[in-house]
Chain A
Amino acid sequence: MIKFFLMVNKQGQTRLSRYYEHVEINKRTMLEAEVIKNCLSRSKDQCSFIEYKDFKLVYRQYAALFVVVGINETENEMAVYELIHNFVEVLDKYFSRVIMFNLDRVHIILDEMVLNGCIVETNRTRILAPLFVLDKVAES
């Protein structure tokens, strides 16, 4: 089960955070800071899975942005690694570049892909269909 989904930049600023298990708000900032510290301290040739407290972190770096997913032992780490890439590809398709000015849309995309910690849909077109509908309704 996926515990949380974070996108954090190199300076430690959270660009996106989604928790599938309740975490107190003050604990969240601490968690995010620690997680990014762990990820930043690793070099290129170290593996992308870190054991952190009682769950695992799977992270992937895209330019200045880190996508970090916290999972528990039941998940296949490498599948989650692929999921991250899938997510970034979807974002890429929708926004012309991955820019975080439309946070609500990003949340909606994430909702279409992951529900309550489980993967729902991985096909790009099907994920983005409701979004295009939303955009059409918003324009009119």
Chain B
Amino acid sequence: MPAPIRLRELIRTIRTARTQAEEREMIQKECAAIRSSFREEDNTYRCRNVAKLLYMHMLGYPAHFGQLECLKLIASQKFTDKRIGYLGAMLLLDERQDVHLLMTNCIKNDLNHSTQYVQGLALCTLGCMGSSEMCRDLAGEVEKLLKTSNSYLRKKAALCAVHVIRKVPELMEMFLPATKNLLNEKNHGVLHTSVVLLTEMCERSPDMLAHFRKVSLVPQLVRILKNLIMSGYSPEHDVSGISDPFLQVRILRLLRILGRNDDDSSEAMNDILAQVATNTETSKNVGNAILYETVLTIMDIKSESGLRVLAINILGRFLLNNDKNIRYVALTSLLKTVQTDHNAVQRHRSTIVDCLKDLDVSIKRRAMELSFALVNGNNVRGMMKELLYFLDSCEPEFKADCASGIFLAAEKYAPSKRWHIDTIMRVLTTAGSYVRDDAVPNLIQLITNSVEMHAYTVQRLYKAILGDYSQQPLVQVASWCIGEYGDLLVSGQCEEEEPIQVTEDEVLDILESVLISNMSASVTRGYALTAIMKLSTRFTCTVNRIKKVVSIYGSSIDVELQQRAVEYNALFKKYDHMRPALLERMPVMEKVTTNGPTEIVQTNGEAEPAVLETKPPPSGLQPASQANDLLDLLGESDITPVISTAPTSKPASAGGELLDLLGDLNLTGSPVSAPVPQIAQPPFLLDGLSSQPLFNDIAAGIPSITAYNKNGLKIDFTFERSNTNPSVTVITIQASNSTELDMTDFVFQAAVPKTFQLQLLSPSSSVIPAFNSGNITQVIKVLNPQKQQLRMRIKLTYNHKGSAMQDLAEVNNFPPQSWQ
């Protein structure tokens, strides 16, 4: 059998292959030769064969049959064999293969070998791919080598120790005594790896961290760093005029970990950090690398403010540098520090905004994130202009993030409702298809709440989708708005802008084209169909057309559309009398928490817009039924319905409960003219406040009253008003029961005249224990902007002595201090 070819010839041959198939053929031939050579247990050429196998492995061909051969090579006495054997072990084996355990003995012997190079090999291999069992067995040897005076071995042992600690964290203490002298070495390799070892120990264990802080590691490190900076030219470690930058960077990182959250250590390193920051040469990349690390360290430890300002200025200088790498690095660090040193970073805002226009993708992304972090109430208009321009021209992978960021920022800092809506419209029209799905319900809610902008909004949205209805989120929002406010659109009233002349037919045209278009998603079609249906109550002359459209979709293939169309058809036919009530305007929705684009919006007793998509009837049903019931209750035409939070029930069932409770009233038809008058009030001032009505500045004590006292049930009202917000009165009701049996399922409802606004929060419970042993508390917030006399009608329902009780009462004895 001829001698197998050398590695270099193999590489040369394979390089001449012109196609993938040719290469594969050559490799397979060579593999076969190697395999037969292995089978023959050929010792002389094993080394060469394994080297070739490694090359083929690198190209992506399977080489597992060489694993055992590597082990044989490791066991050999020749250095060349060992070298290739260990290399093969590192490349081909890992702890997933069972074969690797066979190496343990070999490594153990080699760690005690007479030649340092063999020992180094063993350390290297153990440090790269030792499994936890191997590490446990051999940790003692590694520790011994860590104490040796041979610097070549010491540096490798240190990194091997790092690997051991990573695999078997419990062995960390074992290496502690050896670390005492590590930093006294002159050899930079040892210093470097020792710093890595110390870093690993400090990061893994807070006890170690405390220990190292106590043994004054910081002064030692500071001394080493000082020597590096102060010493002149040293040819050994010089890189572009700076002495061993790699070691400097490592030391700075360890200082960062030691100084974090620790005042003493931070103080000890202030000087050296200032020195490095000012003395390092910045003309080459090396110097900038060190400065970068310094800046990161300064920002992370408890440094004094002068130092921090210095750091931010360095970053500012980086931003103006021509080198892209440095700009990228500066933007990254500024992003990390913008939370803590916001004002300092604001100073560089204009440079950061300029970076948005950079050609480089990485820089643009960083600049975008940083810009969002810098937006605040003062600069929101200017920043938004830049960001919208950026959205126009950026790569598609940024558009989704940018759009979400713009929504978030606009929500927090919008100077006016009109600006907010304009911004949203702009985003929808430029990047409409990249907007996240959950943005649509949020936008709808925002639009509903800005009552005075309805006409303007619907007009703009209509114009936007006239030309192009392919962007789904835009079309969804537009359809919803047209459905809600179509009457405003055709009536041509708009204060903000020149009103456009639109006929009902044109509106229906556009909605129908959305329905028909192939570009519309199923969800969008659902929106459009519901919108058309809603318009049947808002439009006057085109009802027949709407009926026709709806009946066509009753046989649509899309199940969702079909269901909706069938239900709407039923509305036209059998329940025509309910149709106006069901399709009336959506009331103002409440926000419970400040939201980002991903949070769900809570609405008070009403279904959210998302639920609206799937079940249109119930949402319309609730406000209508509540309105009807209480209007019947109170018999006056100027009472607004109360939106109360049912204690724990879901929105869909709240309406059901009310219907049950008020079942004796006539629900169908609405005695009072339908639809219920538009709730054209400003959003409730107390939206978003927690349910605890505690004011920091409570007005002087207002006397409490007994609002109701009958049949053993007593209800007291206590009042609170704030000096800063005198139109809001917070009433806490306390219901107590003096009979000998508990009252269960207690529900309190209230209604006030139209000039007031009322909000009922959840009661503490629904059971009033007997004998006055406990009571239910509930909070009512009343908004009384015109300071009229407070009047209230209350309705109480509860179960007592096995029977259901209910009662109505009027409360007129409010003390003047509660409303004047």
Task: Please report A residues at the B interface, Cβ cutoff 8 Å.
Answer: 14, 16-18, 20, 22, 25-26, 28-29, 43, 45-51, 76-79, 81-83, 86, 100-104, 107-108, 111, 115-116, 118-123, 125-126, 129-130, 133-134, 137-138
Query: Does B329 belong to the interface (CB within 8 Å)?
Result: yes
Q: Which residue of A lies closest to B159 (CB)?
A: A115
A71 to chain B, nearest CB (A): 13
B490 to chain A, nearest CB (A): 51
A55 to chain B, nearest CB (A): 13
User: CA of A121 to CA of B325 in the docked complex: distance in angstroms?
Assistant: 25
Contacts A104-B7, A104-B87, A111-B87; A120 near B155 (Cβ below 8 A): yes
**Are B325 and A28 in contact, with the CB atoms below 8 A?**
no
Query: Does B293 belong to the interface (CB within 8 Å)?
Result: yes
Of the listed residues B162, B244, B328, the one surrounded by the most CB atoms of chain A closer than 10 A to its CB is: B328
**Are A50 and B362 in contact, with the CB atoms below 8 A?**
yes
**Chain B residues with CB under 8 A of A83:** 246
Contacts A47-B328, A130-B120; A119 near B192 (Cβ below 8 A): yes
User: CA of A126 to CA of B96 in the docked complex: distance in angstroms?
Assistant: 33
**Are A118 and B189 in contact, with the CB atoms below 8 A?**
no
User: CA of A82 to CA of B361 in the docked complex: distance in angstroms?
Assistant: 22
**Chain A residues with CB under 8 A of B54:** 103-104, 107
Q: How large is the interface on B (under 10, 10 to 19, 20 to 34, 35 or more residues)?
A: 35 or more
User: CA of A78 to CA of B159 in the docked complex: distance in angstroms?
Assistant: 22
Complex A-B, nearest 8 residue pairs according to Cβ-Cβ distance, in ascending order: A78-B289, A47-B324, A101-B8, A46-B360, A115-B159, A121-B189, A47-B328, A29-B60
A58 to chain B, nearest CB (A): 9
Query: Does B51 belong to the interface (CB within 8 Å)?
Result: yes
**Chain A residues with CB under 8 A of B90:** 111
**Chain B residues with CB under 8 A of A48:** 324-325
A130 to chain B, nearest CB (A): 5
Contacts A45-B324, A49-B325, A76-B293; A118 near B128 (Cβ below 8 A): no
**Chain B residues with CB under 8 A of A14:** 58-59
Contacts A76-B293, A78-B325, A79-B289; A118 near B245 (Cβ below 8 A): no
User: CA of A22 to CA of B129 in the docked complex: distance in angstroms?
Assistant: 9
User: CA of A99 to CA of B744 in the docked complex: distance in angstroms?
Assistant: 89
Of the listed residues B83, B90, B94, B359, the one surrounded by the most CB atoms of chain A closer than 10 A to its CB is: B83
The residues in B between 344 and 373 inclusive whose CB is less than 8 angstroms from any CB of A are: 359-363, 365
Could you show 7 A-B contacts with beta carbons less than 8 Å apart? A17-B58, A25-B62, A29-B60, A46-B362, A48-B325, A76-B289, A103-B58
**Chain B residues with CB under 8 A of A126:** 152, 189
**Chain B residues with CB under 8 A of A137:** 79-80
**Chain A residues with CB under 8 A of B293:** 76, 79
Contacts A76-B289, A104-B7, A118-B196; A51 near B362 (Cβ below 8 A): yes
**Chain B residues with CB under 8 A of A119:** 192, 196, 246, 250
**Are B237 and A123 in contact, with the CB atoms below 8 A?**
yes
**Are B12 and A107 in contact, with the CB atoms below 8 A?**
no
User: CA of A20 to CA of B127 in the docked complex: distance in angstroms?
Assistant: 11
User: CA of A25 to CA of B83 in the docked complex: distance in angstroms?
Assistant: 23
B246 to chain A, nearest CB (A): 5
B782 to chain A, nearest CB (A): 54
Query: Does B239 belong to the interface (CB within 8 Å)?
Result: yes
The residues in B between 5 and 24 inclusive whose CB is less than 8 angstroms from any CB of A are: 7-8, 11-12
**Are A116 and B128 in contact, with the CB atoms below 8 A?**
yes
User: CA of A17 to CA of B91 in the docked complex: distance in angstroms?
Assistant: 10
A3 to chain B, nearest CB (A): 13
B240 to chain A, nearest CB (A): 9
B28 to chain A, nearest CB (A): 17
Contacts A16-B58, A104-B54; A47 near B156 (Cβ below 8 A): no
Option from B8, B196, B360 in Cβ contact (under 8 Å) with A102: B8
User: CA of A137 to CA of B324 in the docked complex: distance in angstroms?
Assistant: 47
A35 to chain B, nearest CB (A): 14
Supply 12 further A-B pairs (C-beta < 8 A) apart from A115-B128, A122-B239, A134-B117. Answer: A46-B324, A51-B365, A76-B249, A77-B328, A78-B292, A78-B325, A81-B325, A82-B289, A100-B11, A111-B87, A120-B159, A126-B152
Q: Which residue of A lies closest to B284 (CB)?
A: A82
User: CA of A122 to CA of B286 in the docked complex: distance in angstroms?
Assistant: 14
User: CA of A18 to CA of B54 in the docked complex: distance in angstroms?
Assistant: 11
Query: Does B285 belong to the interface (CB within 8 Å)?
Result: yes
Q: Bits for B137-173, please: 1 = Cβ < 8 Å to A, else 0.
A: 0000000000000001001100110110000000000
**Are B188 and A123 in contact, with the CB atoms below 8 A?**
yes
**Are A123 and B189 in contact, with the CB atoms below 8 A?**
yes
**Are A102 and B7 in contact, with the CB atoms below 8 A?**
yes
Option from B127, B253, B359 in Cβ contact (under 8 Å) with A46: B359
User: CA of A18 to CA of B726 in the docked complex: distance in angstroms?
Assistant: 72
**Chain A residues with CB under 8 A of B12:** 101
Q: Which residue of B lies closest to A86 (CB)?
A: B239
